[in-house]
Amino acid sequence: MVQGIVTFQMVLTLIAATVLQKIVARWSFGKYILSGKYYRFLPPSEEELRRLSGKTSSPSKSQRRKTSHGDSRQHCDSNIRISKHDLDLRLRFSRVQHLDLLNLPFYYEFDWLLNYFASAAYMNCFFLSRQPAIALLFLRSNMTRITAVYFKQNNSSGERSVCICIGALSFLITMILLVFNPILLDVGIDESFRNFSLASEKLFSDQGITLQTSRSPALLYCTLSAFFAYLSALLSFPSFRFARMYVDASRMVHSVRQKALLGLAVISPICCLLWLKPLADALRKASPVTISFFEINFDCLRIILTIIAILTRVAVAKPCLQAYLNLADRRKDLWRQEVGKLTVGEIRHTISSIYSYFAVVAIQFYAPLLFQFSVCCLLKELGNYSCFTTSYCNISAVPYIKKSTLFENKFWHLSHMSNIFNETVNCGLWNFVLFITCLNQLALPLIAILGANFAYE
């Protein structure tokens, strides 16, 4: 009976996966976000480059005998060297189509990432699902794979050093914030740890188990610091990429409105200051005038402002990603200011490699925003926030845990863990995750923008 059920479920899963694969090929969010909205520069043909080099004659017979299988012409054309000053050519461009995206590395990962988050947002908005989002695990897997490329390549020692330095610095800053949490932050991480300890102690005592260990938050602090060091290492290059695209897009657009929107997108994560304890206490004291007027409590207001910051960055996705694709034409202009020679193969490879990295850049742009949005949803649902009430998360109450058959059976029922990971624990944990993520998205792009402007000048 069990084997029949498992076989039926496996067959049904394979059928559903096949149907979804066919649907995604025709209708997907990645297709409508990337295709038809951007222009890419095409690499110049070998005939154009040979004309610039002044070598328009065909190769001699001796050159043709050096290679076999009829590839001598292509081999000789690729080795023609052209002076950088002579690269006076106009790159052709074409609109990015869906068929052009299918062969890009990580495009399918980007497509499925958006589909996962769209389904998670739909379930969260219409069905109020509190199940852990599998999209977060898929996002972490993709970001880890992209970052691991820097550690696998032998010529990426600089990128590895940047990731390690940012991770170590994030570990130090997170540890300092956790140690001085009662003075600096209004996240309730200490109250969450205290509530978790009391709830777990009560659960075990009701089952006749006595815990003799001391309740020190040192292990929690080290675990959270290590997690945020890993997260900062993953988000370091996406932040630097966004800063580079912002600098290029601000020089590309001419509308004052678009420039203002780009600037707002950079500083929008400044809402992380609302988690600072002095500012939060001052705003809560002024709540009869500033917050209760809208009938929204302060904790939910921070979530709303974070979502607005996310939408602001989504609004500038088109000029930023187009600014990245324009790097091909800018690279050609920079070559003309340099001294030296390039081969035809190097020119074509450099121009085409910018577009081949387009899907990875799209993941690096949207991944931090999707992560922030998921944390906002988890904080609202698991913390039981209500946007139109003035109730706050009770940080001192320990939920009543009745005696259950938790240890009477041979299996550990995960549903009973909700007594330990209650609303108070989730409030403090996800508030701190959201604060660190917003701080990361504010600090790293600003540092990179200042460095880019200094290097440009």
Q: What is the band of 432 on the pLDDT scale with cuts at 50, 70, 90?
A: very high
Q: Which residue has the higher pLDDT, 156 or 115?
A: 115
What torsion do the CA atoms of 204, 208, 212, 216 make, to the nearest 10 degrees?
10
What pLDDT shows up at residue 397? Answer: 47
CA-CA distance, 449 to 222, in Å (whole number)?
31
Mean pLDDT of 94-101: 86
Give pLDDT, residue 443. 92
Summarize the confidence of residues 263-290 as an average pLDDT: 83
Calpha distance 130→384 (Å, rounded): 10
Residue type, 31: K
Q: Which two tokens stand for residue 306?
A: 């974070």
User: Residue 405: which pLDDT band, with cuts at 50, 70 and 90?
Assistant: very low
Higher per-residue pLDDT: 109 or 124: 109
**What is the spatial distance between Cα 267 and Cα 218, in angstroms, rounded to a whole number?**
33
Least confident segment among 49-53, 300-304, 346-350: 49-53
Flag whether pLDDT at 287 surpasses 60. no
pTM for the structure as a whole: 0.81
Start-to-end CA distance of the chain, whole Å, equals 73
* Beta-bridge partner residues of 276: 185
Q: Is 222 exposed, middle or buried (0-12, 13-18, 19+ CB in 10 A)?
A: middle
Q: Are 149 and 156 in contact (CB under 8 A)?
A: yes
Q: Which residue has the higher pLDDT, 42 or 68?
A: 42
Instruction: Reply yes or no on whether the pLDDT at 390 is more than 60.
Output: no
Mean pLDDT of 389-407: 46
Lowest average pLDDT, out of 56-60, 259-263, 427-431, goes to 56-60
Kindly report which listed range (53-62, 399-408, 442-451) carries the lowest average pLDDT score. Answer: 399-408
* Residue 357 pLDDT > 60: yes
* pLDDT score for 289: 53
State percent of the chain over pLDDT 90.
Answer: 22
Rounded to an integer, what distance in angstroms lies between the CA atom of residue 103 and that of residue 358?
11
pLDDT of 454 over the 80 cut: no
The pLDDT of 338-349, averaged and rounded, is 76
Distance, CA of 191 to CA of 280 (rounded, Å): 17
Residue 132 pLDDT class (50, 70, 90 cuts): low
Query: Do the strands 39-41 and 341-343 form a parallel or antiparallel pair, or are they unpaired?
Result: unpaired
Cβ burial 102-126 (10 Å sphere, 16+ → b, else e): eebebbebbbbbbbbbeebbeebee
Q: What integer pLDDT is reported at residue 50 of this predicted model?
A: 74
Q: Which residue has the tokens 């080099």?
A: 53
Would residue 215 be called left, alpha or beta, if left means φ above 0 and alpha means ψ between -120 and 50 degrees?
beta
Contact criterion met (CB below 8 Å) for 395 and 191 = yes
Q: Is the pLDDT of residue 355 over 50?
A: yes
pLDDT band at 306 (very low <50, low <70, confident <90, very high): very high
CB atoms within 10 A of CB 33: 19
Q: Which of 8-17, 126-135, 146-155, 285-294 has the highest mean pLDDT?
A: 146-155
> Between 242 and 152, whose confidence is greater?
242
Is the pLDDT assigned to residue 406 strictly greater than 50? no
Distance CA 276, CA 184 (A): 6
What tokens appear for 335 in the block? 């070559």
In 89-235, the DSSP E strands lie at 93-95
Helices and strands, number each (H, E), in the chain: 21, 4
pLDDT at 396 over 50: no
pLDDT by residue (tens digit) across 145-157? 888 888 887 766 6
Task: Say if CB 52 and CB 89 are below 8 A apart.
Answer: yes
Under 8 Å between Cβ of 166 and 231: no
Instruction: Find the radius of gyration of the CA atoms of the chain.
Output: 27
Q: Region 153-165: what's the mean pLDDT?
A: 79
What is 370-409 written as a DSSP string?
HHHHHHHHHHHHHTT--TTS-----SS--------STTTS
Mean pLDDT for the chain overall = 78
State pLDDT tens for residues 359-377. Answer: 999 999 999 999 998 888 8
Token look-up 């589909």 returns 115
Q: Hey, what amino acid is at 446?
A: L
Long-range CB pairs of 399-402, under 8 A, 24+ apart, other chains included: 399/199, 401/199, 401/202, 401/203, 401/206, 402/206
pLDDT at 386: 64
Nearest to 397 by CA among 195, 189, 217: 195
Q: Is the dihedral of CA 33, 35, 41, 44 positive or negative?
A: positive
Return all residues near 361 (Cβ < 8 A) that are at least 6 apart.
241, 245, 321, 324
Residue found under tokens 């600098």: 247
Lowest pLDDT segment from 12-26, 154-168, 213-227: 12-26
High-pLDDT (> 70) share of the chain, %:
73
pLDDT higher than threshold 70 for residue 212: no
Residue 153 or residue 74, greater confidence: 153
Under a CB-based contact definition with an 8 Å cutoff, are residues 43 and 94 in contact?
no
The vertex-13 CA angle with 10 and 14, nearest 5°, equals: 90
Locate 363 and state its tokens. 């993941």
Tokens of 358: 């387009």
Residue 342 has pLDDT above 70, yes or no: yes
Residue 9 exposed, middle or buried by CB count within 10 Å (0-12, 13-18, 19+): exposed
